[in-house]
Amino acid sequence: MKPFRTLHSAPRGLARTALAPALISTLLSALALAGAAQAATASLNESWQFHRADGKQAITADKVPAGAWSTVDLPHAAHIEPRVPTAPWQGTVFYKKTFDAALKPGERAILRFEAVMNVADVWLNGKHLGQHLGGYLPFAFDVTGLLKAGGKNEVIVRANNEDNAITGPKPLKDLDYIQHGGMYRGVSLITKPAVHITDEMLAATPAGGGVFVTFPRAGKEKATVQVKTEVANTAKVARTVTVRNTLAWQGREVARAEQQVTLKAGERRHVTMPLDVAQPQLWSPQAPNLHVLDTAVVGEGAGDSVQTRIGIRRLSFDNQHKLVLNGEPLQLRGVNRHQEYPHVGYALSPQAEYRDALLVKKYGFDYIRLSHYPQSPAFMAAADELGLLVIPGVPGWQYFNKDPAFSRQVIKTCEDMIRRNRNHASVLAWECSLNETDMPDAFVDTLHKTVHTEYPGDQAFSVGWLPRSYDIYMQARQHRIGDKHPLPKKPLIVSEYGDWEYYAMNAGFNQGAWSDLKPADRSSRQLLSQGEKHLLQQAANVAEAHDDNFTTPAFADGYWVMFDYARGYAPDLEASGVVSIDRLPKFAAEFFRSQRSPEQANAQWGGGPMVFIASYWTPESSPRVRVFTNAGEVELRLNGKVVARKKAAPSSTHPRLKHPPVEFDTGGFQPGELVAVAYTGGKVVAEHKVRTPGEAVKLDVALDDMGVPPAVGDLVFARARLVDANGTTVPRSGEAVTFTADPGYEVIHSPQASTEAGIASVLVKVRQPNGTLAAAAGKLQGALAPK
């Protein structure tokens, strides 16, 4: 074997520019096929035949009547649920598809599934390829010997999302979220030459397989990017090839290294080489700089390449257990996220995943706990792009099965989760821990060890809710309240806060005991439709709990939860989200936005100085007006007259918040206009106006694409807003609105929706660009403006 050669290392490139919105769809789709050779990847997402075995019939695919199949595209939800599911669907579904494949002599073929819920059996041309347990991670099969040359190949998938004792997390009747069924992520056929880069999931190599990128050193002057590539020779003779790594910044090459290697027939080997980068553009939440690494294998019988988008950065903890990123201390404000949408569950488009990440960033968060399961590759890619640190976790919640098969399944899930996500700059730590579950000590030790086996070195951190073994301790605020045990001497994250302790007075683990619930008007579970009083209560709870988190040594906290979601086992929504299930912000979202430093701003997600009046200013509004701002002072004016000007400074109510809410007493309601003006250093830096609404005169209809242009197959919310003659939103809830669409848009589930705070929302699938969409509520009408 010849030693690697560093060909050159280029100096620092130009400043980072935001990714053009038109490229987002292409980029995320490519990144979703992690580990695949791009030139030889065929999407199999279109034109599947689908059958749902309602009634839990014990049938096989060949017993499904010919007329019982329907044609669908992936991603696909097994069952379209109502907005508030009362009996979420569980059962068996079948998918089948025929496709052409032509392999050249010596080529390999890999059939890869990005996720199927929850137990999946796969057949190809009548051969059972195997069964995969767990509905959140990829799996792959080598199908080289099973493909029909030049003929029709048929793949059949049987998927079941019923309660499963081996995969957990626990039965739906006790589970406070839904494991939505179906083939809800993509499928691809990957063809590779005889000498190729392995698929990281199929290889199943600890700390290997595919391309694995680490950063032994990362500073402002110099960084080392270490690339470990598993190369396989499936030819019947030895082959000599060159493995070449090329690193690019904004399309310009900044480093390259290559190594020649001879592989025996049937041999697999890892080839590791460092790339030295001078004056690198480092990745952080404030500057999420991304490089593209091209790893190629060239030579006789070779021609494979894999592109990996990476962020150069180093994580560590100081002697006070505070987080340090690239040598700088970093305090993180975070949130928990469930990945579901209304109606379609997990079957989201890459653009929809990106919009979710964009909302998280927009409303003041730099960290997300992905609760309680591995989430989409497209969401991970969006977190990389937007500068969001994430903690992926294995499925688990208050459930442990003593069957050894259960423990093996959790450990394998931990391994697979790390293999899929390890090259993402956004990963902060790995939650290989069963949430709120009494786990045996030996099992905890094994999970902690698995993290470091799969990701050797000093840049992987295990995190768990138990204080033993894990590198980082994750404790919920409701578990801390009343806890007499001292905190362990290790880094701490407040995993969840702001919901349960304002919902049930026991503030502990007995979530089945409902007799001690606090009054509804004191809860953080408040729907957008419930009005100002309830939204202000939620915002008050959030501010109080977030302030209290600063009494701990935690380097991060995570509010529960970002988006309202379907509970599954109860006939209502879990409404503690700062954003509704239809992705509309509540007052609490604006509070969190005010906690971001005014110095942080970005063309994609906003930021900078802000001020927000948490009132609709109607006759029902409180005369005590609450204002959120990240400026030094704020002045409130009512109909042009100054109510007061106050400093936004810590107080006895919020002694630790840098940007606490500011309250003004208007002396009583007067119709007209409220204006909040924010000042820093005596200069006006932001302004927000709220006007008393009049009678609604029309509907404003729009697609809420958040600047991410809809593409064919995309899911996007359509809004119909009640507005008065001045264009002011009339914040009335419960108004029935009916949407109508041409073939360009498909309204999911139902065209009828009720307004929440003056806005009715339906989820639509884009079938053709620039379709038409209209809405009506009695005599009120509106339509999409023509483009």
Q: Please state which of the ranges 30-39, 221-230, 422-431, 652-661 shows the lowest mean pLDDT.
A: 30-39
Whether the predicted pLDDT of 34 surpasses 70? no
Residue 59: band (very low, low, confident or very high) from pLDDT cuts 50, 70, 90 = confident
The pLDDT of residue 508 is 55
**pLDDT at 488 exceeding the cut of 70:** yes
**pLDDT at residue 510 tops 70:** no
Using only C-alpha atoms, what is the Rg of the chain? 27
Amino acid letter, residue 658: K
Q: How far apart are alpha carbons 59 and 94 in whole angstroms?
A: 10
Q: Please tell me whether residue 498 adopts helix, strand or coil conformation.
A: coil
- For residue 512, what pLDDT is reported? 55
pLDDT, position 665: 98
Looking at every residue in the chain, the average pLDDT score rounds to 93
Structure tokens at 64: 């499904």
Q: Is the pLDDT of residue 477 over 50?
A: yes
Statement: residue 54 has pLDDT above 90: no
Angstrom distance (rounded) from CA 135 to CA 161: 8
**Torsion, CA 532, CA 537, CA 539, CA 540, rounded to 10:** 140
Q: Is a pLDDT exceeding 60 seen at residue 514?
A: no
In angstroms, the CA 317 to CA 327 distance is 10
Per-residue confidence (pLDDT) for residue 142, from 0 to 100: 98
Q: Rounded to the nearest 10 degrees, what angle do helices 21-32 and 350-362 cross at?
A: 120
Strand 673-680, strand 633-638: pairing: antiparallel
Give the tokens for residue 137: 């991670």
CA–CA gap between residue 115 and residue 521 (Å, rounded): 40
Cβ atoms of residues 295 and 244 within 8 Å: yes
Kindly report, residue by residue over 362-415, the tens digit of the pLDDT.
999 999 999 999 999 999 999 999 999 999 999 999 999 999 999 999 999 999
β-strand partners of 272: 228
Query: What φ, ψ does residue 375 adopt, rounded to 5°?
Result: -110, 180
What pLDDT was estimated at residue 506?
53
pLDDT (0 to 100) of residue 354:
98
- pLDDT tens digits, one per residue of 219-246: 999 999 999 999 999 999 999 999 999 9
CA distance 93 to 79: 10
- Residue 467's pLDDT band, with cuts at 50, 70 and 90, is very high
Q: What is the pLDDT of residue 771?
A: 87
Question: Which one, of 539, 600, 658, 578, lies nearest residue 360 by Cα?
Answer: 578
Distance between CA 110 and CA 275 in Å, rounded?
Answer: 30
pLDDT at 202: 97
For the chain, the farthest-separated pair of C-alpha atoms sits apart, in whole angstroms, at 88
Residue ranges of the alpha helices (H) in 595-731?
none
Token code pair at residue 92: 């068996």
Q: Are 764 and 728 in contact (CB under 8 A)?
A: no
Write the pLDDT tens digit of every residue in 133-189.
Answer: 999 999 999 999 999 977 799 999 999 999 999 999 999 999 999 999 999 999 999
For residue 10, the 8-state DSSP code is -
Token pair of 36 as six digits: 């695949």
Order of strands across the sheet that contains 624-629: 611-613, 624-629, 662-665
Spatial contact of 610 and 629, defined as CB atoms under 8 Å apart: yes
Residue 261 has φ and ψ, to the nearest 5°, of -145, 140
Q: Kindly state the average pLDDT of the residues 641-645.
A: 98
Going by pLDDT thresholds of 50, 70 and 90, the confidence category of residue 516 is low
pLDDT band at 751 (very low <50, low <70, confident <90, very high): very high
Residue 39 pLDDT > 90: no
Q: What's the whole-number mean pLDDT along residues 748-754?
A: 98
435 CB-near residues (< 8 Å, 6+ apart): 371, 372, 393, 396, 397, 398, 465
pLDDT at 579 over 90: yes
Q: Are 644 and 664 in contact, with CB atoms under 8 Å apart?
A: yes
Predicted local confidence at residue 769, as pLDDT? 81
Is the CB of residue 167 less than 8 Å from the CB of residue 137? no
Beta-bridge partner residues of 218? 223
d(CA 654, CA 211): 48
Distance from chain centroid for Cα 415: 20
High-pLDDT (> 70) share of the chain, %: 93
Alpha carbons 291 and 655: distance in angstroms, whole number: 42
| Other residues' Cβ atoms within 10 Å of the Cβ of residue 214 | 21
Percent of the chain with pLDDT over 90: 87
Enter the DSSP assignment of 146: G
pLDDT at 7: 39
Q: How far is Cα 786 from Cα 772, in angstroms, rounded to an integer?
A: 8
User: Is 22 a residue whose pLDDT tops 70?
Assistant: no
The sign one gets for the Cα dihedral 434, 436, 440, 442 is positive
- How many residues does the structure list for the chain? 787
The CA angle 456-459-463, to the nearest 5 degrees, is: 95
Confidence (pTM)? 0.94
